[in-house]
Amino acid sequence: MRLKMLFTPRPAGSIVALLVSALFLSACEGGSGAPSTSAPPVVTETETAPPVTATDTPPEVSPSPTTPAQPTTSPTPTALPPLGNPSLDQKQLSPVGEFDMSIANIRVAEHESFTRVVIDIAASQSTPGWWIDWTTEPVQQASGLPVDVSGDSFLDVNIEGIGYPDQASVPSIENGPYPGAGIVEDINLTSIFEARAQILIGVSGPPRSYSVTLLEEPSRVVIDIVH
Protein backbone atom coordinates (compact mmCIF):
# COMPACT_ATOMS: atom_id res chain seq x y z
CA MET A 1 0.00 0.00 0.00
CA ARG A 2 1.39 3.33 -0.99
CA LEU A 3 1.59 6.08 1.59
CA LYS A 4 0.85 9.62 0.36
CA MET A 5 2.57 12.44 2.15
CA LEU A 6 0.38 15.37 2.36
CA PHE A 7 2.05 18.84 2.28
CA THR A 8 0.11 21.85 3.26
CA PRO A 9 0.98 24.69 0.86
CA ARG A 10 2.11 28.10 2.41
CA PRO A 11 0.90 31.30 1.14
CA ALA A 12 3.25 33.22 -1.27
CA GLY A 13 3.39 36.28 0.98
CA SER A 14 4.96 34.31 3.81
CA ILE A 15 7.74 33.08 1.53
CA VAL A 16 8.60 36.58 0.40
CA ALA A 17 8.73 37.81 4.00
CA LEU A 18 11.15 35.08 4.93
CA LEU A 19 13.46 35.90 2.05
CA VAL A 20 13.58 39.61 2.94
CA SER A 21 14.41 38.82 6.58
CA ALA A 22 17.24 36.52 5.52
CA LEU A 23 18.75 39.16 3.27
CA PHE A 24 18.58 41.83 6.00
CA LEU A 25 20.40 39.63 8.50
CA SER A 26 23.09 38.82 5.97
CA ALA A 27 23.67 42.52 5.25
CA CYS A 28 24.00 43.41 8.92
CA GLU A 29 26.50 40.64 9.61
CA GLY A 30 28.66 41.48 6.62
CA GLY A 31 28.71 45.25 7.37
CA SER A 32 30.27 44.91 10.80
CA GLY A 33 33.73 43.88 9.47
CA ALA A 34 33.91 45.82 6.17
CA PRO A 35 35.91 49.13 5.99
CA SER A 36 33.89 52.30 5.83
CA THR A 37 33.70 53.88 2.44
CA SER A 38 32.55 57.33 3.68
CA ALA A 39 34.93 60.30 3.12
CA PRO A 40 37.02 61.39 6.10
CA PRO A 41 36.06 64.68 7.68
CA VAL A 42 37.64 67.71 5.99
CA VAL A 43 39.99 69.57 8.30
CA THR A 44 40.62 73.19 7.29
CA GLU A 45 43.60 75.03 8.62
CA THR A 46 43.17 78.74 9.29
CA GLU A 47 46.17 81.01 9.45
CA THR A 48 46.25 82.87 12.69
CA ALA A 49 47.78 86.34 12.47
CA PRO A 50 50.84 86.63 14.65
CA PRO A 51 50.30 88.65 17.77
CA VAL A 52 51.01 92.34 17.39
CA THR A 53 54.06 93.20 19.37
CA ALA A 54 54.90 96.72 20.43
CA THR A 55 57.51 98.31 18.24
CA ASP A 56 59.72 101.24 18.94
CA THR A 57 57.84 104.56 18.68
CA PRO A 58 59.17 106.53 15.69
CA PRO A 59 60.99 109.71 16.69
CA GLU A 60 58.90 112.84 16.57
CA VAL A 61 59.66 115.00 13.59
CA SER A 62 59.80 118.62 14.58
CA PRO A 63 58.52 121.03 11.94
CA SER A 64 61.19 122.85 10.05
CA PRO A 65 61.46 126.49 11.07
CA THR A 66 59.61 128.79 8.74
CA THR A 67 60.84 132.22 7.87
CA PRO A 68 58.16 134.76 8.77
CA ALA A 69 56.81 136.60 5.80
CA GLN A 70 58.30 140.01 5.48
CA PRO A 71 55.70 142.76 5.49
CA THR A 72 55.31 144.41 2.15
CA THR A 73 55.80 148.11 2.22
CA SER A 74 54.56 150.50 -0.37
CA PRO A 75 57.11 152.96 -1.62
CA THR A 76 56.76 156.30 0.07
CA PRO A 77 55.52 158.79 -2.48
CA THR A 78 58.19 161.33 -3.26
CA ALA A 79 57.22 164.89 -2.44
CA LEU A 80 56.86 167.11 -5.47
CA PRO A 81 59.97 169.30 -5.70
CA PRO A 82 59.87 172.91 -6.83
CA LEU A 83 60.77 173.67 -10.42
CA GLY A 84 64.09 175.20 -11.39
CA ASN A 85 66.77 176.26 -8.92
CA PRO A 86 65.21 178.35 -6.15
CA SER A 87 67.25 181.26 -4.80
CA LEU A 88 66.79 184.72 -3.31
CA ASP A 89 68.32 186.37 -6.39
CA GLN A 90 66.49 188.67 -8.75
CA LYS A 91 65.07 186.91 -11.82
CA GLN A 92 64.91 188.54 -15.27
CA LEU A 93 64.00 187.40 -18.80
CA SER A 94 63.25 189.44 -21.94
CA PRO A 95 59.99 188.83 -23.85
CA VAL A 96 59.94 187.58 -27.44
CA GLY A 97 57.44 188.60 -30.14
CA GLU A 98 54.63 191.11 -30.19
CA PHE A 99 53.49 192.80 -27.01
CA ASP A 100 49.95 191.53 -27.43
CA MET A 101 49.81 189.04 -24.56
CA SER A 102 47.47 189.28 -21.57
CA ILE A 103 47.08 187.89 -18.04
CA ALA A 104 44.39 185.21 -18.38
CA ASN A 105 44.35 183.94 -14.78
CA ILE A 106 46.27 183.77 -11.49
CA ARG A 107 46.24 180.52 -9.49
CA VAL A 108 47.84 179.46 -6.20
CA ALA A 109 48.41 175.98 -4.72
CA GLU A 110 50.22 174.82 -1.59
CA HIS A 111 52.58 171.83 -1.78
CA GLU A 112 54.58 170.05 0.91
CA SER A 113 57.77 172.09 0.56
CA PHE A 114 56.67 175.10 -1.45
CA THR A 115 53.73 177.23 -2.56
CA ARG A 116 53.17 177.63 -6.28
CA VAL A 117 51.78 180.70 -8.04
CA VAL A 118 50.78 180.18 -11.68
CA ILE A 119 50.19 183.14 -13.98
CA ASP A 120 48.35 182.00 -17.11
CA ILE A 121 49.29 183.96 -20.24
CA ALA A 122 47.03 184.42 -23.25
CA ALA A 123 49.34 184.69 -26.25
CA SER A 124 49.49 183.81 -29.93
CA GLN A 125 53.12 183.36 -30.98
CA SER A 126 54.76 185.59 -28.37
CA THR A 127 56.74 184.56 -25.29
CA PRO A 128 56.47 186.57 -22.07
CA GLY A 129 59.43 187.87 -20.10
CA TRP A 130 59.74 189.00 -16.47
CA TRP A 131 61.51 191.06 -13.91
CA ILE A 132 61.03 189.73 -10.34
CA ASP A 133 62.59 190.62 -6.99
CA TRP A 134 61.80 190.88 -3.27
CA THR A 135 60.79 194.25 -1.88
CA THR A 136 60.14 195.59 1.59
CA GLU A 137 57.49 198.07 0.49
CA PRO A 138 54.63 197.10 -1.86
CA VAL A 139 54.19 200.09 -4.17
CA GLN A 140 52.56 200.46 -7.57
CA GLN A 141 54.79 200.74 -10.62
CA ALA A 142 55.20 204.18 -12.21
CA SER A 143 53.15 206.07 -9.56
CA GLY A 144 54.99 204.72 -6.53
CA LEU A 145 51.78 204.73 -4.52
CA PRO A 146 51.51 202.13 -1.72
CA VAL A 147 49.46 199.03 -2.47
CA ASP A 148 47.43 197.25 0.20
CA VAL A 149 48.80 193.70 0.26
CA SER A 150 48.77 191.36 3.27
CA GLY A 151 52.04 189.69 4.28
CA ASP A 152 55.45 190.22 5.86
CA SER A 153 57.57 190.10 2.70
CA PHE A 154 56.58 191.00 -0.84
CA LEU A 155 57.61 189.53 -4.17
CA ASP A 156 57.39 192.19 -6.89
CA VAL A 157 56.47 190.27 -10.06
CA ASN A 158 56.48 192.14 -13.38
CA ILE A 159 55.39 190.15 -16.46
CA GLU A 160 56.66 191.77 -19.68
CA GLY A 161 55.17 191.69 -23.16
CA ILE A 162 51.62 192.39 -21.92
CA GLY A 163 49.57 194.65 -24.16
CA TYR A 164 47.08 197.29 -23.15
CA PRO A 165 43.47 196.10 -23.13
CA ASP A 166 42.87 197.58 -26.61
CA GLN A 167 46.09 196.01 -27.94
CA ALA A 168 45.99 192.55 -26.37
CA SER A 169 44.73 189.58 -28.35
CA VAL A 170 42.65 188.59 -25.31
CA PRO A 171 41.62 191.04 -22.57
CA SER A 172 43.45 190.60 -19.27
CA ILE A 173 41.70 189.82 -16.01
CA GLU A 174 40.71 192.74 -13.83
CA ASN A 175 43.17 194.53 -11.61
CA GLY A 176 42.83 193.98 -7.90
CA PRO A 177 43.38 191.42 -5.13
CA TYR A 178 43.30 187.64 -5.59
CA PRO A 179 43.25 185.00 -2.82
CA GLY A 180 46.42 183.27 -1.65
CA ALA A 181 47.24 179.84 -0.22
CA GLY A 182 50.00 178.28 1.86
CA ILE A 183 52.60 180.88 2.76
CA VAL A 184 51.14 183.25 0.15
CA GLU A 185 48.76 185.49 2.08
CA ASP A 186 47.67 187.83 -0.68
CA ILE A 187 48.09 188.64 -4.38
CA ASN A 188 47.37 191.94 -6.11
CA LEU A 189 47.41 192.68 -9.84
CA THR A 190 48.08 196.40 -9.57
CA SER A 191 48.28 197.68 -13.15
CA ILE A 192 49.48 197.28 -16.74
CA PHE A 193 51.95 199.95 -17.83
CA GLU A 194 54.29 200.05 -20.85
CA ALA A 195 53.82 196.36 -21.73
CA ARG A 196 54.36 195.29 -18.12
CA ALA A 197 51.77 193.79 -15.74
CA GLN A 198 52.71 194.24 -12.08
CA ILE A 199 51.66 191.55 -9.58
CA LEU A 200 52.56 191.89 -5.89
CA ILE A 201 52.66 188.68 -3.83
CA GLY A 202 52.50 188.99 -0.03
CA VAL A 203 54.27 186.16 1.83
CA SER A 204 54.34 185.29 5.54
CA GLY A 205 57.77 185.51 7.16
CA PRO A 206 61.03 186.74 5.66
CA PRO A 207 61.96 186.63 1.96
CA ARG A 208 62.39 183.04 0.75
CA SER A 209 64.13 181.28 -2.10
CA TYR A 210 62.00 181.04 -5.23
CA SER A 211 62.20 179.91 -8.84
CA VAL A 212 60.56 181.16 -12.04
CA THR A 213 59.79 178.79 -14.93
CA LEU A 214 58.05 179.32 -18.26
CA LEU A 215 55.84 176.41 -19.36
CA GLU A 216 54.15 176.09 -22.75
CA GLU A 217 50.87 174.71 -24.12
CA PRO A 218 49.32 176.60 -22.55
CA SER A 219 51.74 179.41 -21.87
CA ARG A 220 52.18 180.12 -18.15
CA VAL A 221 54.72 181.55 -15.74
CA VAL A 222 55.23 179.31 -12.68
CA ILE A 223 56.68 180.80 -9.48
CA ASP A 224 57.59 178.30 -6.72
CA ILE A 225 58.27 179.88 -3.31
CA VAL A 226 60.08 177.52 -0.94
CA HIS A 227 58.65 177.13 2.59
Per-residue pLDDT tens digits for 2-23: 444 434 444 444 444 444 444 4
The confidence band for 71, taking pLDDT boundaries of 50, 70 and 90, is low
> Is there a domain that residue 3 lies in?
no
> Is there a domain that residue 59 lies in?
no
> Is there a domain that residue 60 lies in?
no
Say what the pLDDT of residue 82 is.
Answer: 97
Say what the pLDDT of residue 137 is.
Answer: 93
> Is there a domain that residue 80 lies in?
no
Say what the pLDDT of residue 125 is.
Answer: 86
The candidate with the shortest Cα–Cα distance to 91, out of 222, 210, 224, is 210
> Is there a domain that residue 15 lies in?
no
CATH number for position 143:
2.60.40.3500
Cα-based angle 202, 205, 209 (whole degrees, multiple of 5): 80
| Full residue range of the structural domain in which residue 136 is found | 91-226
**Quick one: average pLDDT of 150-159?**
98
| Percent of all residues in the chain with a pLDDT value above 90, rounded to a whole number | 59
Say what the pLDDT of residue 61 is.
Answer: 57
> Is there a domain that residue 44 lies in?
no
Per-residue pLDDT tens digits for 29-65: 444 444 444 444 444 444 454 454 445 555 565 656 5
What is the pTM for the complete model shown?
0.67
> Is there a domain that residue 188 lies in?
yes
Say what the pLDDT of residue 124 is.
Answer: 73
> Is there a domain that residue 71 lies in?
no
Determine the distance from the C-alpha atom of residue 188 to the mean position of all C-alpha atoms in its chain, rounded to a whole number.
Answer: 44
Number of structural domains the chain divides into: 1
Per-residue pLDDT tens digits for 161-199: 999 888 787 888 999 999 999 999 999 999 999 999 999
Per-residue pLDDT tens digits for 98-117: 999 999 999 999 999 999 99
Looking at per-residue pLDDT, the higher value among 203 and 69 belongs to: 203
